[in-house]
Chains A and B, each alone.
Chain A
Amino acid sequence: MHMAGAPSQLELFDYKPELQKLDGQVCPSEFLEGKRFAFITGVPKLLGPAWPFHREKQTGLWISSLLPKFEKHLDKVCMIHTMQTDQFNHAPAQLLVHTGSQNLGAASFGSWVTYGLGTVNENLPGFIVLLSGGTNPDGGKSLWGSGFLPSVYQGVQCRSEGDPVLFLKNPPGVTRELRGEMVDRIRKINQRAYEDLGDPETLTRIAQYEMAYRMQASATDAFDISQEPPDIHALYGTQPGRESFANNCLLARRMVERGVRFIQLFDWGWDTHGTGDDNSVGKGLKRKCDQIDQPVSALLTDLHQRGLLEDTLVVWGGEFGRTPMQENRAGMEMAFKGRDHHPSAFTIWVAGGGIRGGCSYGETDPIGYNPVGEGVPVRDLHATLLHLMGMDHKRLIYPFQGLDQKITGVKPVRVLDKILA
């Protein structure tokens, strides 16, 4: 689950009482020298957390008041507080977190996983992408693109409104029976062509048409959330036929049940700069949290109650974090409280398949600016997630342009053993 725009770790997960005390004070110069920011300029002021935190009883983890339902699942969750990236603009940072490279052209994490694991349901795409928030993520479709991998591994963007997969439905007036007959004739004529010409691709094409025909039925069924009972709709807060994060969470569970290997939800609207009330870390952030708190919790509950959570890995995060300083765009004071993009430390949480629940990993300094000790670069997270899915990041390679390409690149990488169950 990618919260495009970058949710504020300082309002949600990384509790910093010291930052509260320093609210309104000038940011010390050691945090500014040699740093580049998207919007902060000159000498900004520190900004205390806009929402109260408390300690969740069972796990002892600190959590903000903005996610009351989610907090009941902390026993299944591990928070990584010291995530780091080296990009501070949305599109490049989203590319980095999804493809391991800030440049375009690399393969997305979902494509790598699909390339590595294959599929267990041939009637559905192996890698499904669902969007909410009304806007595509800043990085566009490259975030689920196959890059240098063959395009069969690219994520298929599905929709919770309209045709779930583009061109899935028969054209108006073409019945399923008639379509069956069409595919039958295509098979017959292609088979004859194969016998004449001996091109093996023809056989593949026959198979693909038959799979497309089956997919029309199975995908339509898979995406029909109106089949769910009322208590499930109540649990998620879903309304069939609309595009929403809640619907996408419920769809995700249906995909997990059907053996889709990789499902990615993108939700847009987390870029809390404070240029208006709607994107402040106050009201704006609360609005976004209200949209996701129940569905995320419902998904964890639902996967758990169906026995699916133990072999499903749930990952939630953004492309970077947000600054401990209040944004001062173009050197001016802003009317609402907001934070700029912050690549040096941010929180991503993981739950389910193979994760030690109720834990946190890494610690940031008293104002949440830098990790104390070593941070967790995106490549470490990638390696850890691949490990949890049974793959060694060093051996998941694809030869391209003379190099055995890996999602983790060439720098040193470690698997985060401490978060494993």
Chain B
Amino acid sequence: MHFMSKSGWVWRYRIAGILCSGLVLFSLFSWSLVVIGGEIRFAQEVRPIFNKHCISCHGGVKRAGGISFIIRDSLIGKKPQPVIVPGKPEESVLIQRVTSTDPKKRMPPPEHAAALSAEQIEVLRRWISQGALWEPHWALVPPKAPVIPRPKGDQWCRGSLDRLILARLESAGLEPAREASRSEWMRRVSFDLTGLPPSLDDVRGFEADTGVDAHEKVVDRLLASPAFGERWATVWLDMARYADSMGFEKDSARTIWPWRDWVIRAFNQDMPFDQFTIRQLAGDLMANATLEDRIATGFHRNTQNNSEGGTDDEEYRVAAVLDRVNTTFEAWQGLTFKCAQCHAHPYEPIEHKEYFQVLSVFNQTRDWDLREEFPLIKVPQEQAEFGAAARLDLDISKLRRAEFADAQNLGVAGSDNWSGLMPVAASSTHGTRLVHRPDGEIRTEGTVAHYSRFTVELNPPAGDAPLTALRLEVSPIDASKARLTPEMGFVVSFIRLAVVTSNQPIESVEAAKPMTGEVVLSHAFGDEAEPFGDVNAVLSPDKGGWGALPRMIGKRSIVVVPAEPLKVPPGARLVVVIYHDEGPGDFAALVMTRFRLAGSTDPGWSAMVRAEGFKARRKELAELNKERASIQSVEMPVISEVEPQFQRATAMFVRGNWLDKGAEVSPGVPQLYPPPGSTNRLDRLGFARWLVQEDNPLTARVAVNRFWEQLFGVGIVETLENFGSSGEAPSNPELLDHLAVRFQRDLKWDIKKLLKDIVLSATYRQEARATQEKLAKDPRNRLISRGPRTRLTAEMIRDQSLALSGLLSKKMYGRPVMPVQPEGIWRAAYSSEKWVVSPGDDRFRRAIYTYVRRTAGYPSVVAFDSPSRDVCTARRLRTNTPLQALVTLNDPAHLECAKALALRMQKEGGGTAADQIRRGLELATGAKAVGADVDALLSLYGQALDVARKSPEDTLKLDASPEVYAMTIVASTILNLDAVLTR
């Protein structure tokens, strides 16, 4: 027992696990279940009383009287009368109130609940008199390597893992099961590591291998198989809510499969889990980030994009950022952090404000729910070209930044070298009304129509120096509000300048026609270094433009430079025409509502654009862009940080309403955690590093628990998504901590080594046979008193059918494919996208490559609990339904496999139908066929053959001879056997 001091708390931390004989329970709640010498244990005895009887009024959400039984400081330090005075129960208000006979004072109030029992009051009294020591929830204390027990049957054990398992089994009066047959273990480990069944040759080879390292050789081979990455990426894709569509109404296609491929490669290359984490959360911010690192950030671009007409892009940008925070905590921390989005967490010590401190870390990304999904990167189709493409991208970025820096030095934003141009008149097309003020500002009034073209007449700058540049400055209507809740943005598609003498009427603003006195504008300079498009687009009526798309959080500016310095004759005026022809104008008017114009006579502008260096740079940029375009690439959305001048302020949402902004917050991590270590700046990169720093109590535990759940069917903590005090307690806390410490420290986050440890353990090698005793004492195999036996996942079921039939394509990576699917599944609103069955072998690819459309999933995997990928799914709940039977019996894709398997059985099985059936059973299970099973299927074969001979039209429908028809019926039956659908 020792004490730790952190954040002003005194924590008592005890490694549980001393078990008194006779008091052992076969419970999930095994985090020490024993009374030790009359000492009250906070976590087991006191906190449950608080949680059940106190926290609905004095908890995280409601803190009546400022008192919370989640937060110790609110009980101890409370003035004038502390709720708890450690060591002095009778002075503690808590005891006074729970024992009070005055109904006005009694807690819990009589109208809410009955009084605490005498036993409960005694627990509280003794706990206070023993010092009122507070223990944090177990999961918030960093794991420590447990003392490894020496169980009686120690010779069974192959390592510490087994000892921890066996100690539990022995204390429950159970013995481990026999070692599984080679074929049983081989099937299990093949699916677990690669998601595919073992080949029969591999099973037979393994059975014949008498070497002591036979198992290890199998494991090494499976871990090295490319199928390993495909299997484990599938698990991670649920966490990442990966889909090939954007979600919501139209649910349009999204190209983000390069990220999926990155995940497969990461698993295959055995990327350590800490690197896997940092790259996905902040690969873009790493020093010398590679193209792969930027692709990795696709993890958090798997959020949904709502491109329904009339949706608020800021609302869904915010929704995406919230989802990133929630997903990060669910996937990496197993915490229900999102509860703190609208109020303090009801059960965990997480303040409302702390949610927003984390939000502010994630709130600085450039994406904005645009249907174009900016920002995008170009990913070469050939991986061999990644290096060349990345070098070009870097060079292009450097050149753009250099030009931006030069223009900034002359003053695109701010600077004194500008004189305001006073408007004389301002008008608009499309019924939009403009007014101008004496200070030069021009505003719209009333309804603003999209496509409005503004014509502004201005007095030229005083003096006779020629005009060298024109600046357009656009402001939000309410700058102080826009900082936190951005205003509707604008897109300027074309800027024109003309000089008119006083009596000339203003001409038409048809884009095609030149204006009298029109001045050629040759260069444009915007206010961001690397905008999504080229700002020079404003110099022509063609596509593209400059602006704040879709929203603005502050002032924006652009400078246009005439080809020649402009001498304005005396008495003449300037006419500026501004077009808003770009942007998704079908629903929102992306039109400036408040702006002003300024002129410069600084010869620096003309000098800059004439300088040889400037011209050479633009030429080089054009060449590099051309060269980059020649590398065949796809564009995928990525996470990228806003430029410093566009940093967002983050404020709390009052009761979760994003339109109602409260206090501003700065980046931070919740107090319940150790603070960030080495990093001095808490940006996304600092946050990602903090997640995997040594003293994070949850990251390793949550990760090893997920691997365990994939191998054993149930996690050590069953609620993979919730390690908090409202989640399930670990079935074997010492085992969880052992694995976590081993993974994080000994194995340095090496996933393959961790899996190898587990699958070679005696625990994993047990046979799955369940005796009556085991079913009675360990019904759900939480103690692992036998080998795991679970239904295959949705993906494994498809992949197995393809593998057994020999149809499976080994092709990896690339665009998602469309295998056979019934008609009429895809019919999303306002979408013309179609399911077109992929040609050739592409329809026989592994399930991970099947196109995932969120609003209409692939039916035969949906039936087997594959989630929609709308949100992070930390755990799939396994079901067993009749609709699943219909899929594997009737889905044409499965039938096609059955027929191919039948042909294979006939080819490989030998001369008689019985031999062929035996072969089929052995291919499908890896085990020796049981005679009774062969007989049962042989009689089915006979019946099917009768049908085929009596009504040949049936066999014709399957395009088969009577024998192939009958064997297809048998093969389909085999593919539906319990032994084949489970591992």
Contact = CB atoms under 8 A, between A and B. Distances in A.
Interface of A: 4, 36-39, 41-44, 88-92, 103-105, 125, 131, 134-142, 145, 150-152, 156, 159, 161-163, 165-175, 177-179, 181-182, 185-186, 188-190, 192-194, 196-202, 204-206, 208-209, 211-212, 215-216, 268, 328-332, 340-341, 401-403
B398 to A, nearest CB: 39
Contacts of A92: 248, 306
Contacts of A44: 447
Contacts of A188: 932, 936
Interface stretch (B418-426, B517-525, B953-961): B953-961
A90 B587 CA distance: 15
Contacts of B727: 402
9 contacts: A41-B588, A105-B871, A167-B822, A185-B939, A192-B933, A199-B978, A208-B880, A331-B450, A402-B726
A199 B770 contact: yes
Contacts of B726: 401-403
A333 to B, nearest CB: 8
A175 B944 CA distance: 10
A88 B309 CA distance: 11
B99 interface: no
A92 B319 CA distance: 12
A21 B42 CA distance: 71
A1 to B, nearest CB: 18
A182 B447 contact: no
A173 B885 contact: no
B895 A171 contact: yes
Contacts of A328: 447
A196 B855 contact: no
Contacts of B397: none
Contact of A331 (B336, B447, B828): B447
B977 A212 contact: no
B698 interface: no
Contacts of B895: 171
B665 interface: no
Given A152-B879, A178-B969, A199-B789, A402 B336 contact: yes
A68 to B, nearest CB: 29
A189 B930 CA distance: 9
Interface in B21-80: none
B724 A178 contact: no
Nearest to A161: B824
Nearest to B343: A410
Contact of A141 (B856, B958, B976): B856
A92 B306 CA distance: 9
B119 interface: no
A197 B74 CA distance: 55
A169 B890 contact: yes
A198 B769 contact: yes
Contacts of B662: none
B249 interface: yes
B586 interface: yes
A36 B315 CA distance: 11
Nearest to A192: B932
B587 A330 contact: yes
A131 B826 CA distance: 12
B828 A136 contact: yes
B625 interface: no
Contact of B930 (A171, A175, A192): A192
Nearest to B873: A105
Contact of B855 (A136, A198, A212): A136
Nearest to B590: A330
Contacts, number: 266
Interface string B858-887: 011000010010110000010111111111
Given A136-B856, A141-B856, A142-B870, A42 B448 contact: yes
Given A201-B791, A208-B882, A212-B883, A181 B892 contact: no
A155 to B, nearest CB: 12
Given A142-B855, A150-B879, A212-B883, A175 B954 contact: yes
B722 interface: yes
Given A89-B310, A168-B890, A209-B882, A162 B822 contact: yes
B712 to A, nearest CB: 14
A140 to B, nearest CB: 3
B886 A140 contact: no
Given A41-B589, A178-B947, A331-B449, A185 B940 contact: yes
B247 interface: yes
Contacts of B885: 208-209, 211-212
Contact of B248 (A138, A209, A401): A138
Nearest to B864: A151
A205 B430 CA distance: 67
B248 A402 contact: no
A138 B829 contact: yes
Given A171-B890, A208-B882, A211-B882, A136 B827 contact: yes
B447 A37 contact: no
A95 B712 CA distance: 35
Contacts of B447: 41-44, 328, 331
Contacts of B829: 4, 90, 135-138, 268
B803 to A, nearest CB: 21
B856 A173 contact: no
Given A104-B304, A197-B769, A330-B587, A167 B870 contact: no
Interface string B304-322: 1010111110000001000
A199 B308 CA distance: 48
Contact of A204 (B347, B449, B880): B880
B969 A189 contact: no
A167 B887 contact: yes
Nearest to B789: A199
Interface in B236-257: 247-249, 251
A178 B955 CA distance: 13
* Listed residue (B769, B857, B969) with the most chain A CB atoms within 10 angstroms of its CB: B969
A209 B879 CA distance: 14
Contact of A201 (B308, B589, B880): B880
Contacts of B248: 91-92, 138-140
B958 A171 contact: yes
Contacts of A159: 824
Given A37-B310, A137-B829, A193-B978, 5 more contacts: A4-B829, A42-B447, A90-B249, A211-B882, A401-B726
Contacts of A43: 446-447
* Listed residue (B347, B447, B589, B973) with the most chain A CB atoms within 10 angstroms of its CB: B447
B768 interface: yes
B449 to A, nearest CB: 3
Nearest to A163: B822
Given A103-B319, A135-B828, A169-B890, A150 B877 contact: yes
Contacts of B887: 166-167
B798 interface: no
A41 B827 contact: no
B585 A330 contact: yes
B870 A104 contact: yes
A199 B973 CA distance: 20
A402 B347 contact: yes
Contacts of A171: 890, 892, 895, 957-958
B649 interface: no
Nearest to A134: B827
B528 interface: no
B979 interface: yes
A127 to B, nearest CB: 12
B336 A401 contact: yes
B721 interface: yes
Contacts of B865: 151
A39 B955 CA distance: 58
Contacts of A202: 978
B66 to A, nearest CB: 22
Nearest to A148: B877
B432 A331 contact: yes
Contact of A167 (B721, B891, B978): B891
